[in-house]
Structure 1
C-alpha cells in the first residue's frame, strides 16, 4: 500500500452529501483482504482502489456484511448505526480521470451518469465507490423511468430526487374526487408526479413548487416528456404567490435528520416543513378551498410523533378535517421481515387528509 494524503492525490473530491474527504488515503488493489480493508476504513483511512472494478464491488459487499448494523434500541439508535456504517463503507474510493473516465479493469462507462450529477470534469477526481454505484443506479432509473399506472406513462427521476416507487400515495391523488379543476398548487413537487397526475385528470392550471433546483429540473423534464408543458414551476419555500382552491402537499414523513440530499424527501427534522405548511396554508387557500395533505402514520408507529401532535397542529392553524382517505402500502418493505422497521411498516397506513380553513 502506498500512503498519500488526499491533497497529494491531486484529485478533486466528488460528493453530493457534503462529506469531507478522508485525511489519509492509501492506494490499494486486488490483494487487499476484506478484514484489512475494514480495519483501515474503521480507522478513518480512505482506500483508493487501483484494481479490478468488479473486485472492488465484491470488497464493498464483504465490508457491508462485516459491519451490518444490528437492531437498535430505538429508531434514532438504528439511524446512528446506519450512519456509522455508511461512513465506513464510504471510505472505499475510486479514481476517475478527466471527463469522468473510469480506467479500472472491467469498469463501466460512467461518463454520462457522473456528468448528470457532478457536471463536466476537466480534472482527475476521487469518489466513494458506494456513491458512484448510487449515481450509476440513478442514471439507469432516469433512462428507464418508473411506470405510473395513474398516468399510463413513466416518470423519470433524477439523482437526488425521490423516485415515486411507492405508488399508494400517487393513487390517493389519482382517485380522490377533485373539488376543482381550475387551479391547484403542488407544494414540494419533487419529480413532478403529483402535478402530472392532476394535469392528467384535467386540472386547467397547476403550479408546482420546490426549494431544490435539482427537483425542479427533474419535474420540468418529466412535464415536457408527458406533454404537460403548461404546468408552471417555481423555486420557492413552499407556497407560490396568491391563493388556490386546491393545494396538494406530500411532505417528508419522518421527523428526523436527513443524512443525504435524497433523504430530505423522507426526513423532516422537527416536522419543520410540515408545521410551516400547515401554519401558512390558510393564507393561500381561496374561501371554501381544500388542501390535500398526504402523510404516512409511520412516524406515529415509530413513536417519533404522536397523532395528537398532528391534530393539534391542524387546530393551531385553524384547519378543520373534511375527510380522510386511507390506503395500505404495497411496497416490498411492508412485507419483508428482515427490514429493521418491519413491525412498524406492517401496520403502516398512508392517508390523504382533506383540510379546510375553519
Structure 2
C-alpha cells in the first residue's frame, strides 16, 4: 500500500503577521523563535529589548550574543529588502555600537544581497552581517511553520579560516589539524542546514543550550585519537556546584533518555563543572573518516541538547540542593 504524503504549501507572511512592529517583531522576540533564529546564524542570542530607541528612531530588536557578550541588532521587514531598511541598519548599528547585524526579510534583492556581502568583505573580522529570508509553509490544514534561510553571511566562514590558518602556520601541527577538522565540521553541518561556530584552531567548539552560563562543546583530542561532547556549567545566576548536583541526582533518568552513560566531574577545586561522554579509538588522521566523526559529534550534541535544555532553562535557586555537604546521587 502506497504511503500517502502531504503537499507543502507556501503561506503569505501577512496572513499570519499583519504588521511588522505589532505582530512580527514580538513573535520573533519569543524565546523559541529567537532560538530558531540563533540556530540559523550560529549565535547564542538573548533578548535585550524591542523597539530600542536610537536617537529619534527605534531598532526592531536588540540582543546580546552570549558567546561573545556583544550586542546584536536585528532589523526585520515583511516585504522584500529596500534602501530605507539598509540605511536604518547602518544608522542603528552605529548608534548601538552593534558589530553583529541580522536583517530578516521576505526576500533579498540581488542589490541588497551584494551590499551585505560587500560589508562583510570590507569590515574587520569582529563585524558580522547576516541576511535571512523568512518563509511560512504548511501541509494541508496544519498550522503554518516558519523557516529561516540564510542568503548571505559573514565572510568569517572564509575570512576567519584564512586568519586562523595564518596563525596556525606558525604554531603546532595540532593547532593546524584542529583548524582543518573544525572547518570540515562547519562544512558538514552547513550542507545539512545546521549552524556551526566559526572554525578555530582550538580543541573545542561551543554550542548554545538555551541559557547563559551553560554550553555544549564538541571536543577533538588529536594526540589521544578520541572525541568528546561535554556540558560545561559556568553560570553566574545560579550556584554552579548546586546545579551540577541537581543534575547529577537525576543521572539515572538522564542516561536513560540519552541512551548512553555520562562522566560526571564536579571539579571541586575549579570554578565550573562538566558532564561529558567520550568516543575512543577514532583514527583522526584518516580524513576519509571525518564525516563519521562529524556525524557522531552532531548527533551527540543534538541528543544532549534535547535532554539537558528542558532541565536547565527553568532552573531556579530554590530548586537546587545545598552545596556544603556531600552530593546525593541517584543510582544511574
| Same topology, TM > 0.5 | no
TM-score of the superposed pair, with normalisation by structure 1: 0.26
TM-score of the pair, normalised by structure 2: 0.28
